[in-house]
Amino acid sequence: MKIISLELNNFRNYKHAFAEFDDGLNVLYGKNASGKTNMIESIYLCSIFHSPRTTKDKEMVLIGEAKANINLILQKKYRKHSINLQIDEKGKKKILVDNIPLNRAGELFGVLGVVYFSPDEMKLVKESPQERRRFMDVGLSQQQRSYFYALQRYNKTLKQKNNLLKEWRNNKNIDSMLDVWDMGLAKEGAEIIFKRIEYVKVLNDAASKFHTAMSEAKEELRLTYECAADISDKNELKQSLYEEIVKTRAKDKELGYCTVGPHRDDIKIEINGKDSRKFASQGQQRTIALALKLGEVIIYKNEIGEPPVLLLDDVLSELDMQRQKLLLEMTAGFQTILTCTEFDMNEKANKIQISDGAVIPG
């Protein structure tokens, strides 16, 4: 799929801007703080509904204005779509696809598919497990709305359970209610874990190939899903998860929150059998992060049958020449929107100059 055009009104530092994109490589270039990341953020919002860098949505409205508006036109395999997203001064978002308002954020998944890569993503390997869970959750939600809805149900139940656990100090009589929450958590949790296991398996195959190529076959990358429950037998997963949750109940009462379940799981990342989350050098971390992201691209394309749009924010400067070249080679065949301060590669590209919250006519 490809984005045809993007119009921004009162979004971040853009009063009004309009940009058109080509099929292949598009380069947003301009000085620091000109608005390149803001433009990438607006596209990401039209795909994932959440900003990749803030949870305070009202920050995205141009200071002094009441409402931000994003209009994106998208060409998919069989037809065109329009996505319209509005953010008001309270940070409330409204979204219309083909002029029809969506009732649930989850309905947006499956419209515009993106794979987003930024310097923050480079830290995927060493960051907290939360970032690696988010990586799986975004990848899976884009593939299957049912995953996103299971995650929502799980998180809601988890919140209720944690509230109850916090009450335990004053009210010791909570076990029968906990039984109810734990049953729900095991059910939704097992569904989430089940899908994540599959995802990590496919990701392992795709990412390890890229990694082997980038490390000149000296290193072998291995990804596995890490979980407190016994995941060796899928039929027993729900039961095993339930048992683990109940086993830690006493401890969780003391702590006031639930410590077992998919909200605590992780992707184990190894190179030649060594845990990269602890031991990888900075160079290795970047190579792995790049391999993971390229893997995400391949999985999306295979699952959905259409290539996602690649959003590469400021990543070239973080990579050496060899990896820069590999990344650009990989992006051939995908619509790519890339930001940088200066683009000095030989690649053919649609160059869009950004200056002070405006698109400079080229």
Binding site for ligand ADP (CB under 6 A): 12-13, 30, 32-38, 59-63
Counting residues that bind Mg ion (by CB under 5 A) gives 1
- Contact by Cβ (8 Å): 323, 57: no
- Contact by Cβ (8 Å): 342, 32: no
Q: Closest approach of Cβ 37 to Mg ion, in Å?
A: 3
Nearer to Mg ion, 37 or 143 (CB): 37
Site string for Mg ion, 24-43 (x = CB under 5 A): -------------x------
Distance CA 59, CA 57 (A): 5
Nearer to Mg ion, 294 or 354 (CB): 354
Q: Look up residue 209 and give its two tokens.
A: 């190939």
26 binds, among ligand ADP, Mg ion, none (CB under 5 to 8 A by kind): none
* Helices 129-143 & 36-48 angle (0-180, nearest 10): 60
Q: How many CA atoms lie within 13 A of 16 on its CB side?
A: 0
Nearer to ligand ADP, 17 or 221 (CB): 17
Note whether 204 binds Mg ion by CB under 5 A.
no
Does the CA dihedral 169-173-177-181 come out positive or negative? positive
Residue nearest to ligand ADP (CB): 37
Nearer to ligand ADP, 14 or 194 (CB): 14
The amino acid sitting at 304 is: I
| Phi, psi (rounded to 5 degrees) for 244 | -65, -40
Q: Closest approach of Cβ 286 to ligand ADP, in Å?
A: 20
Indicate the length of the chain as a whole number: 362
Q: Closest approach of Cβ 338 to ligand ADP, in Å?
A: 12
Nearer to Mg ion, 37 or 240 (CB): 37
Q: Closest approach of Cβ 39 to ligand ADP, in Å?
A: 7
- Contact by Cβ (8 Å): 42, 71: no
Binding residues (CB under 5 A) for Mg ion: these are 37
